[in-house]
Structure 1
Amino acid sequence: MKHDDACEIFCFDEDKVNRVKEKLNKNDFQDMAQIFKVLADHTRLKVAYALCDEQELCVCDVANIIASTMATASHHLRLLRNMGIANYRKEGKLVFYSLQGEQLKQLIRLAIEQQKEGVLLGK
């Protein structure tokens, strides 16, 4: 069976291949993959997206936003914190979470915009 989407030669541009391989070796894709894996859960992505537009949110407010129990919201926020995606601070009986870094916020916003435009998933 012949596939039209595969090359019939071994390597077309060896210089490009070597440049990209060098870049791949310099980056830690394992850590990046873990971040994407954590954000692949639709509930955690909703939580992260909610934190994009707000400086910080209390666990109880996140629970209301995602229509869950506080235990569920706390679980998802803890995972985000453990991955270094979110920060938290405690103020008396309240716990507030915020997203770590503007680049992460931009990544999440970009993904949401791409999905809205139908770019993702071939729509």
Structure 2
Amino acid sequence: MPGIELSLELADFYKVFADFSRIRILFALLDNELYVNELAEILGMSQSAVSHQLRILRQYKLVKVRRAGKTSVYALSDDHVYRILTQGLEHLSP
């Protein structure tokens, strides 16, 4: 069993997935690298709202950013995030 501190960190990590907007952003990035404006258009959100959610997702190392000139391109940080999302869908599928 993990210790108290690690358990608290894990609980905070899973809280990140409890937000509808963040889940939609993660699924939009499932197989694509996207710019903030592309995410905003796909999700029907403002760029500032997307940027705010991306900051949280970066904080928890769920997405990574790559600079492309003056703009930033976002992607899932690694295969672990992909598996968390797809296994969650699999778990919920009838």
TM-score, length-scaled by structure 1: 0.68
Residue pair 1:49, 1:109 contacting (<8 A) in 2 also: no
One-letter code of the match for 2:12?
A: Q
Residue 24 in 1 paired to residue 2 in 2? yes
Corresponding residue number in structure 1 for 2:77:
100
The total of aligned residue pairs comes to 94
Cα-Cα RMSD: 1.8
Residue 90 in 1 paired to residue 67 in 2? yes
| The one of 42, 47, 71 aligned to 2:48 | 71
Larger Rg: 1
One-letter code of the match for 1:108?
A: L
Residue 37 in 1 paired to residue 20 in 2? no
> For residues 37 and 85 of structure 1, what CA distance do their matches in structure 2 show?
12
Task: Note the residue ranges of structure 2 that are not aligned, 5 or more in a row.
Answer: none
SS at 1:87's partner residue?
Answer: strand
TM-score, length-scaled by structure 2: 0.86
SS at 2:66's partner residue?
Answer: strand
> For residues 79 and 5 of structure 2, what CA distance do their matches in structure 1 show?
20
> For residues 24 and 93 of structure 1, what CA distance do their matches in structure 2 show?
42
Higher relative contact order (CA 8 A, sep 6+): 2
Task: Note the residue ranges of structure 1 that are not aligned, 5 or more in a row.
Answer: 1-22, 119-123
